[in-house]
Structure 1
């Protein structure tokens, strides 16, 4: 698909969303939730350098995890990439989810792991998209970035409720991948302009 066609599709999608001229990430998530029919939750946490962003799908919504220890603009870039996959309807093969979970929880049965995490097969939804879908998502994210501004800095307030449960479950898995030198199928996306360093939007 040509870049011009991708841009036109993304611009149409943004127009359909009815975004205000300026919003923040929580405001955007509320609008996206109406579009995708499920709540979209933001979960800032330290991802230990394994990934910079990932999306988990559970029965009670989508959970976008993004790196806490980076600049506000880089955080926006990470989240918009994840949200872009949701808006563009990029689905993931459940078999890929199982492969990722096998690497993350090698001593646990995959079905048991998913049940304990309360996650659906969309858990590893960004594990191995092809170049076209990644390009499409980057275009949409760049266009959305024109409408989204940072909120006040998040200094790592303790997570609560469901977000805390999911973060606690992911922590050991991320440490396992880092300590064993595994990649869990992650790939580095281009660095966000003005991000101040660090990889941008790696997918799981």
Structure 2
């Protein structure tokens, strides 16, 4: 699979940014809601749901599950809002880029545990098949989704009201400090 060009990812980011309301929301929950609304327009008539779940350690932090009638984007609930936005935009990237997954070697204890974290929303065996294809971060699809997520999050970051609920530490802190006080792509 070929690497997706930066130009293509930038164009996709710009399409998303053009599709969210102005003024851009100023808090994480409202931004994710606006992005979910945008995803609904691109989901071929399916509903798009965002759920927050606690995934077991060493499994996943986010998950995109597509069925015939709905799309669920699951985001780790036990992380800070900046990281949740990054996780959500990563999964959104998979949806918008039409990534499909093969389901080889789908049955491992870690994947079964992550699937159970979704609770009664899905049959765990269905989710395990989706998760199995998402565990190799060397895959081009994972790399492209991550590049897209960083680009989109950077563009949205400037609009978020920072406060005590969004500490600058770990991955989210490194992302925030590398982006600086203003992201690229949107004017207020």
Gaps of 5+ in 1: 106-114, 156-189, 197-204
Alignment of 1:1-204 (within 5 A): 6-17=5-16, 18-20=18-20, 22-23=24-25, 24-37=31-44, 38-50=46-58, 51-96=60-105, 98-99=106-107, 104=112, 116=123, 119=126, 123-124=130-131, 125-128=133-136, 130-145=138-153, 146-147=155-156, 191-194=171-174
**SS of 2:73 mapped into structure 1:** strand
Count of equivalent residues: 149
> Kindly tell me: are residues 95 and 132 of structure 1, through their superposed partners in 2, closer, same or farther at Cα, counting changes over 3 Å?
closer
Gaps of 5+ in 2: 26-30, 114-121, 177-188
| Distance (whole Å) between structure 2 residues aligned to residue 71 and residue 116 of structure 1 | 28
Q: What is the CA distance between 1:136 and its match in structure 2?
A: 1.4
Segment of structure 1 superposing worse, 56-65 or 133-142: 56-65
Deviation, structure 1 residue 193: 4.2
Moved over 6 A (4+): none
Highest relative contact order (Cα 8 Å, sep 6+), 1 or 2?
A: 1
User: TM-score, normalised on structure 1?
Assistant: 0.57
The RMSD of aligned alpha carbons is 3.6
Q: 1:8 to 1:95 in 2, by over 3 A?
A: same
Aligned mates of 2:19, 2:129 — CA distance in 1: 26
